Amino acid sequence: MSHNHQKKIAVINDFSGFGRCSIAVALPIISAMKIQCCPIPTSIFSNHTGFESFVWTDFTDQMQPYMDEWAKLDLKFQAICTGFLGSARQIELVKGFLRRFKTKETLAVIDPVMGDYGKLYPTYAEELAQKMVELLPYADILTPNLTEACILTQTPYREDFSLEELEALCERLSSMGPSRVVISGLRISDTRIGNYVWERGKHPLLIPVEKIGTSRSGSGDVFSAIIAADAVNGKPFVSSVQKAANFIRKTIERTVELEIPVTDGLCIEEYLGELSEDC
């Protein structure tokens, strides 16, 4: 009996029981968009690292046998989506998974989670950040923020990149693999942020959105999950970036209304139903 009658996305990321990030947001979003989400945890957290304390279990040793069982089931995926990877060994395991499960019909969506505001995350070393480049040849879609785009291309970080410089940055990223790139969370003004959308052979576009409140855990995971599901559902790249940005803006607005702490992420539950409307 085949297990491949329904569209599926494999999501390789960490799992937090509380805090709404990574697999915990990708799974409901992808499911709401009428695609089966198949997670591979890289680490398991009681709650994410933005809290003062947490319990953490490294899942690296279990990842290979976990993947082997999926091979026995002959699982086929319409997309593979990667997020935070905490070690060089995990990056090697993900490369192996991509070689094993990615076909001509499988999209690879790489979210190179490494840092923000011009700095690496505290748990991330420069050597590990440079190893992330090894995933780019497998990527069809790449979703870095500006910090991560600069790290991947070894470009000095600034906040004030011109549109021409952003285009050149995306072209350099694309030369390493992906045909579609979106640089997310660009500061346009005190009240607006933007997403720079680049597709090979098409004119690039900066999509602005109203900035509401402060940055919240899991926003990037929400963004990449919507992009991946829309890609599998055959939606145009520009429209899916706009959808993701609008969903995050609307959800942040509601999250602020409910007085939910910043650490607790986005209250995606309020609007999940809307994501299934045009799938």
| DSSP H or E stretch at residue 139 | none
User: Could you tell me the pTM of the whole model?
Assistant: 0.96
All domains in the chain, ordered by first residue: 8-275 (3.40.1190.20)
| pLDDT, tens digit (0-9, with 9 covering 90-100), for 122-164 | 878 888 888 999 999 999 999 999 999 999 999 999 999 999 9
Residues 146, 136: Cα–Cα separation, whole Å: 16
Q: What is the pLDDT of residues 56-115, one digit of tens each?
A: 999 999 999 999 999 999 999 999 999 999 899 999 999 999 999 999 999 999 999 998
Place of tokens 């070393």: 125
**267: number of Cβ within 10 Å:** 16
The residue-averaged pLDDT of 255-278 equals 94
**Which stretches of the chain are assigned E, i.e. beta strand?**
8-18, 36-47, 56-58, 79-82, 107-110, 115-116, 119-120, 141-142, 180-187, 192-199, 205-210
Q: What is the pLDDT of residue 124?
A: 83
